[in-house]
Structure 1
Amino acid sequence: MRHALITGAAQRLGRAAALDLARAGWGIVVHYRDSGEAANALLAEIAKQGGHAVSVRADLNDKAERHALITHATQKAGAPIIALVNCAAMFEHDTIDTLTGETLERHIALNAFTPSLLAREFAEALPEGARGSVVNFLDFKLASPYPDHFSYTLSKYALAGATELLARALAPRVRVNAIAPGYVLPAPGQADADYQRLHADTPLNYGPTPEDVAHAVRFLLENPAVTGQTIYVDAGRRFRSHERDMGFM
């Protein structure tokens, strides 16, 4: 059985990716920090559908815990980890007017620096002769930026650059790609009516789902000929110009 570690897997898009990969026969290591109950619920759901999953807790802002994550995940899985999905992220609102060095540093640390280090440590832990794959989570707004969530957006630009650099640096043993989801889930605190109004307002008149994103993740993990690529799973929303984040519209 192939095993994948998914950071931030207990909720939202990480959860969708875990369920999809488990259905496809992957063993899943569910990483979480504070969402222990959600992680346990996910393990139970995967087991119910006949899959295999274990969980591992780590605070990715803690250097020691981050450094030990790949080792702990391998121990919990009882087998080498051959896929890493970097889904955990920080998402706090700021603008250029409210930007602080501390806020920017925290976003860069978790959203770009940590995935890069985990990719390196993942590659170092691969058994001799094994091939691995990494998928990073970006955001469709990189192709159509607006000034909300300034620090978050800047950190995702950094991760987009890191994705291509890692694809070059870790070849041929590790492929590195990225997913840029569109408006897939409601923003925290967003009214359902507002979400439904905006969700399918795309060139395809279709609102992408978490399952659409998960299928793209699996494609990138399993296709041996693709590296250094970003797939936008946004139903073309990046072709629309927005002055503000969807959560404020």
Structure 2
Amino acid sequence: MTAPILITGVGKRVGFYLAKHLAQLGHKVIGTYRSQYPQLQELETLGVELHRCDFEDASQLDELLVTLKQQPAIRAIIHNASDWLPDGDAASAISIIDKMMRIHVSVPYAINLALTEQLNAYTGGTADIIHITDYVAEKGSKKHAAYAASKAALHNLTLSFAAKLAPSVKVNSIAPAMLMFNPDDDEQYKQKALKKSLLQKEGGESEILNAVTYLLQSQYVTGQVLKIDGGRHLV
């Protein structure tokens, strides 16, 4: 039986794109999602095994892990599930950072530990864990400090798990910036955002797929971060 790739947050954008294209490439894909989206039907048609799970609900997460641990082996885990909350006032500070840390740090940490046996059981080469972090993990953010801090913590988990799970599992981060605009972004915002990178264009979801494919194929890269930022760090 083919060992599956687990992708969290496949309901839209990057997660949906990865699940769709990896399934089309012949991989067995298991995806998690929090909210129902029409495009999930397309993933089901492609054979993606979907599990609805709100990561803020401990009982739902526990149920998901019990189900996933029934897999005899897992090829890779891609931690894509994310939220992007702006900083609030002092009254909401703890709530906001707790939510950011839970989805970007606590849940990936728990999933990695729970499924270590399944990753170690993969016999087709080296298994993988890939954390989707963010460009702001190194730079910080004036308006999304809690988000940036949680993504930085997620990359730190990359370093810890790379050392902890070697040599049978490789663990890496992908740190994107300005991959794609939202449908409601206005032209003024787009032009301002594009000027923040050297290449001055959207990267697109395919850049993440290319990075994931590279890491899955490599047998010698671990504990690293691939920066997909269009040269933003040099502006």
Deviation at 1:122, TM superposition (A): 1.8
Matches of 1:96 and 1:170 in 2, distance apart? 39
1:177 to 156, 172, 175: 172
Deviation at 1:65, TM superposition (A): 2.1
Contact 1:74 1:81 in 2 (8 A): no
**Consecutive unaligned residues in structure 1, runs of 5 or more:** 241-249
**Residue type of the partner of 1:190?**
D
Matches of 1:30 and 1:122 in 2, distance apart? 15
Identity percentage of aligned residues: 25
Can you list the C-alpha shifts for 1:78-127, whole angstroms capped at 9, x where unaligned? 76322111010121111687761121112111111111111111213346
Moved more, 123-132 or 174-183: 123-132
Cα distance 1:218–1:74, how it changes in 2: closer, same or farther (>3 A)?
farther
TM (norm. structure 2) is: 0.87
1:102 to 95, 100, 105: 95
Describe the SS at the equivalent of 1:177: strand
Describe the SS at the equivalent of 1:143: helix
| Count, aligned residues | 232
1:224 to 191, 196, 219: 219
Moved more, 191-200 or 52-61: 191-200
Correspondence 1:19 to 2:12: no
Cα distance 1:128–1:16, how it changes in 2: closer, same or farther (>3 A)?
closer
Matches of 2:51 and 2:72 in 1, distance apart? 14
Describe the SS at the equivalent of 1:106: helix
Cα distance 1:187–1:175, how it changes in 2: closer, same or farther (>3 A)?
same
Cα distance 1:88–1:112, how it changes in 2: closer, same or farther (>3 A)?
same
Correspondence 1:162 to 2:162: no
Matches of 2:66 and 2:80 in 1, distance apart? 18
1:114 matched residue in structure 2: 107
1:85 to 78, 82, 97: 78
Deviation at 1:188, TM superposition (A): 7.4
Matches of 1:224 and 1:72 in 2, distance apart? 29
Cα distance 1:132–1:37, how it changes in 2: closer, same or farther (>3 A)?
same
Contact 1:56 1:73 in 2 (8 A): no
2:186 matched residue in structure 1: 191
2:118 matched residue in structure 1: 125
Moved more, 162-171 or 117-126: 117-126
1:72 to 67, 81, 91: 67
Matches of 1:223 and 1:70 in 2, distance apart? 27
**Residue type of the partner of 1:27?**
K
| Aligned structure 1 segments of 4 or more residues deviating by more than 4 angstroms | 95-99
TM (norm. structure 1) is: 0.82
**Consecutive unaligned residues in structure 2, runs of 5 or more:** none
Superposed, 1:196-207 pairs within 5 Å as 198-199=193-194, 202-207=197-202
Matches of 1:41 and 1:171 in 2, distance apart? 36
Matches of 1:128 and 1:81 in 2, distance apart? 7
Matches of 2:17 and 2:82 in 1, distance apart? 15
Matches of 2:187 and 2:68 in 1, distance apart? 36
Describe the SS at the equivalent of 2:39: helix
Matches of 2:127 and 2:170 in 1, distance apart? 6
**Residue type of the partner of 2:81?**
A
